Structure 1
Amino acid sequence: MKIVLAYSGGLDTSVALRWLIDRYDAEVYAYCADIGQQESLDGIERKAKETGAVGVLVEDLRETFLTDYVWPALLANAAYDRQYLLAAPMSRPLICARMISYARSVGADAIAHGATGKGNDQVRFAGGAAALAPDLTLLTPLLEWDLTSRQDEIRYAADHGIPVDAVADKPYSVDTNIWGSSIECGVLDDIAAPPPEEIYLMTRDPDRTGVGSQEITVGFTAGVPTSVDGERMSPVALVERLNAVAGRHGVGRIDLLENRVVGFKTRGVYESPAGTVLHRAHRELESVVLDRDTLHTAETLGQRYGQLIYDGLWFSPLRTALDGFFAAAQEPVTGSVTLRLGHGRIDVVRRSTPNSLYDRHFASYESDDQFEHLAGAGFSYAFTMPMRIRGLARRRDQDTVGS
């Protein structure tokens, strides 16, 4: 049997690699996607082979991740539970697709991942496998083995000589990529406990940044970020620049009690410095160029888009169809927004676009006001007619009862 495992080199997948070999007497191939993780991937191929992998593929997918997954979500302003910018959920369909491609190339019978039965990732990998490779067996080692806790996995790794970073007194589950970090478990399971500063990887303490405020200008073309401070940049360079600048000012932390796909609430602490800046700038530019109906409809559909990503339905027809709406709606979203960053805050300084729908001659209350005020009074009369008729009817009912 040949199995391709989505491999990060972390605790779960390191243990899973060795466990799959022993459990299925299989040849296990490790697939590792470089999506801009905070942890170094140096030596990951060697580590996988020392753990027993017969083959290892490491791919640099940072550019693909941003252009094909993050940017479409940004066009939709997609955020789960209105806050989470979905760094981990957006990476799963990409990892799944590339893992399946690797499985085809080596003639694998099965693919495997390191998600748990309580988490969301099992659904995301299952969704990708169902859409792209329903003929391959999908294995979930963490549901099959008798290791019931992270401490058990740490002991298993020690017994089998598998090097891992997790230790019993700091058992956080950490997932990072170029778009953000996700931290769970440990003391964070107590929702009354503040997150310890040591867990943060991408942002400084907003109260102890040691620097003053800083202005930064982000440019967009049809909704896609293309420049920082007037310098056109590749997606990877742009996000890395914003991560460094915003992270230095403590921007991008979220402590969220979220609603998991499997039905219960869980606490996650997230960082997305660049994402927080880009979402704020993008929304501000939209506010200038989109008409009211399009803007409000986009807000509703964007919430749905975020839920589709979170729920592991990236490959669904609905998500593809929504891309069509957002691509059309974003055509005029070209221009720049200047923001001031400081001590965890973002303030809007300037908005500039050739497609502005703002006209000061109508918005102003000065002498050059061009709005027809009498027309406005007539509009208000007609617009409130349903409430007026209802009010008159209520008054007649009250008079009838009184008589």
Structure 2
Amino acid sequence: MIKIKHTNKVVLAYSGGLDTSAIIPWIKENYSLEVIAFVADVGQSKNDLDGISEKAIQSGASDCYIVDLKKDFVYDYIFPVLSTGALYEGNYLLGTAMARPIIAKEQIKLAHQTNSIAVCHGATGKGNDQVRFEMAYAALDPNLKVLSPWRKWKLSSREELIDYLKSKNISTTATKEKIYSRDENIWHISTEGGVLENTWNEPDNNCWVWTTDPMMAPDKAEYITIEFDKGYPITINNNSLNLVDCLIYLNKIGSKHGIGRIDIVENRLIGIKSRGCYETPGGTILVTAMRALEQLILDRDSFQWRQKLGLKMATVVYDGLWFSPIRKSIQNAAHVFFNMLSGKIVLKLYKGNIIVIKKYSQQSLYSEEFATFGKDTVYDQHDAQGFIKLFSLSSKIRAMKNKK
């Protein structure tokens, strides 16, 4: 028996999946704690939530709380990150990383409400999520005890977890043949493990959940117009939508056309490389449209600085530093540029591709009058001669010195 002082209650971040289903009986066996299951509804599929309370109770939880966090997740986590242009290692749209802080925050809140002495997560000792959860716990309430079963128990694989659940007569949808680890929310779905552990294996059909195979997507392209006001999408094809409904709609249309699939090997914070298939159809559409607006509106120095902010923000969020001054600082700095993004973008969706075909903004710095290859009356091309002389002066002096 593993001893813990003041035996009482623990709040478990519960998904109903393989790991957290095994954690409930394991905690009761080893700590004699009353387990309260906490389910964060961040937009995962309805199938994942149907019957989840009953499943938690059947697994041994004393109670199960389901909290709808979709609106807060979209408004207070997704769009603040989106506003910075953050992309981890140039590809990953941070779907899992953004969800962990809001889950941890609500988990801590429930722990306070239920007078629990501990919180628990189901992240493995190899991954990033253990850091993200526990960084949030430390920032929000360092006095709560933290349980991380994957770092304690003798179960060493997901296959052993399946056998453990069978011995406890607890049902699970995971099988030894389809043993993928998945994370789903309103922004994305990720798939890891299984055939993906060998980087020479092509992802099979079971690796993709939301999106249509681009080869099987409609043969006819579809056009959509997104209007932005101060960074936020306000209409799609002239229909007004709130941010949650906007994302749901873009996920649906993007999935139909095979948009937003990536198969990447990423550098985890702890030093291990991992491979995952990520599907972010609506997010990929939004990012593409916003970058098109930036091309019109931001001057070169502003664009380059926004890129640096996005690069740093991606690392900060990926590493679990959400509740830190650096995240707030980056977000505030990027909001200056985000607030400038007003206009309309027309996109063409076709077999996994997003093509920007039209862009307009009243804040656009693009001037056809100046950029034209035809005759104009606003730009004197002779002016470039003096500019080039000054701009190249240091190169000229260096060449002269070298020649001597």
Tell me which residue corresponds to 1:7.
14
Tell me which residue corresponds to 1:31.
38
Structure 1 stretches of 4+ moved >6 Å: none
Match of 1:272 among 275, 280, 288: 280
The code of the aligned residue for 2:29 comes to: D
Secondary structure of residue in 2 paired with 1:220: strand
Is the 8 Å Cα contact of residues 84 and 335 (structure 2) preserved in structure 1?
Answer: no
CA positional deviation for 1:347: 0.6
The code of the aligned residue for 2:19 comes to: D
Tell me which residue corresponds to 2:267.
259
**Structure-2 separation of matches of 1:353 and 1:150:** 51
Matches within 5 A, 1:70-89: 70-89=78-97
Is the 8 Å Cα contact of residues 211 and 249 (structure 1) preserved in structure 2?
Answer: no
**Structure-2 separation of matches of 1:226 and 1:191:** 41
Is the 8 Å Cα contact of residues 218 and 351 (structure 2) preserved in structure 1?
Answer: no
CA positional deviation for 1:226: 2.1
Aligned residues: 396
Match of 1:95 among 100, 103, 123: 103
Tell me which residue corresponds to 1:401.
none
Is the 8 Å Cα contact of residues 126 and 272 (structure 2) preserved in structure 1?
Answer: no
Secondary structure of residue in 2 paired with 1:79: coil
Tell me which residue corresponds to 1:312.
320
Secondary structure of residue in 1 paired with 2:224: strand
Is the 8 Å Cα contact of residues 247 and 282 (structure 2) preserved in structure 1?
Answer: yes
The code of the aligned residue for 2:38 comes to: Y
Residue 137 of structure 1 pairs with residue 145 of structure 2:
yes
Q: Deviations over 1:145-174 (max 9, x none)?
A: 110000000001111111111100111001
CA positional deviation for 1:211: 3.9
**Structure-2 separation of matches of 1:165 and 1:306:** 33
Secondary structure of residue in 2 paired with 1:373: coil
Match of 2:67 among 48, 59, 78: 59
The code of the aligned residue for 1:288 comes to: L
Tell me which residue corresponds to 1:359.
367
**Structure-1 separation of matches of 2:310 and 2:337:** 12
Q: Deviations over 1:122-141 (max 9, x none)?
A: 00001101110101011101
Matches within 5 A, 1:226-305: 226-305=234-313
**Structure-2 separation of matches of 1:352 and 1:197:** 39
The answer for unaligned runs of 5 or more in structure 2 is: 1-7
Tell me which residue corresponds to 2:215.
207
CA positional deviation for 1:336: 1.4
**Structure-2 separation of matches of 1:326 and 1:224:** 14
**Structure-1 separation of matches of 2:125 and 2:234:** 39
CA positional deviation for 1:369: 5.0
Q: Deviations over 1:258-303 (max 9, x none)?
A: 0000012111110000011000000001111111111110001101
Is the 8 Å Cα contact of residues 363 and 369 (structure 1) preserved in structure 2?
Answer: no
Tell me which residue corresponds to 2:28.
21
Is the 8 Å Cα contact of residues 228 and 341 (structure 2) preserved in structure 1?
Answer: yes
Tell me which residue corresponds to 2:5.
none
Is the 8 Å Cα contact of residues 120 and 262 (structure 1) preserved in structure 2?
Answer: yes
The code of the aligned residue for 2:187 comes to: W
**Structure-2 separation of matches of 1:40 and 1:24:** 28
RMSD of aligned alpha carbons? 1.0
Residue 183 of structure 1 pairs with residue 205 of structure 2:
no
Secondary structure of residue in 1 paired with 2:109: helix
Match of 1:392 among 376, 390, 400: 400
Is the 8 Å Cα contact of residues 223 and 331 (structure 1) preserved in structure 2?
Answer: yes
Matches within 5 A, 1:108-187: 108-187=116-195
Match of 1:69 among 77, 84, 96: 77
The code of the aligned residue for 2:374 comes to: E
The code of the aligned residue for 1:170 comes to: K
In the superposition, the TM-score normalised over structure 1's length comes to 0.97
Is the 8 Å Cα contact of residues 12 and 153 (structure 1) preserved in structure 2?
Answer: yes
Q: Deviations over 1:340-375 (max 9, x none)?
A: 001101111111111111111111121125222122
The answer for unaligned runs of 5 or more in structure 1 is: 397-403
**Structure-1 separation of matches of 2:170 and 2:232:** 42
**Structure-1 separation of matches of 2:67 and 2:265:** 33
Is the 8 Å Cα contact of residues 243 and 274 (structure 1) preserved in structure 2?
Answer: yes
Secondary structure of residue in 1 paired with 2:48: coil
Is the 8 Å Cα contact of residues 183 and 268 (structure 1) preserved in structure 2?
Answer: yes
Is the 8 Å Cα contact of residues 220 and 334 (structure 1) preserved in structure 2?
Answer: yes
Matches within 5 A, 1:328-339: 328-339=336-347
The code of the aligned residue for 2:302 comes to: T
> Identity percentage over the alignment?
39
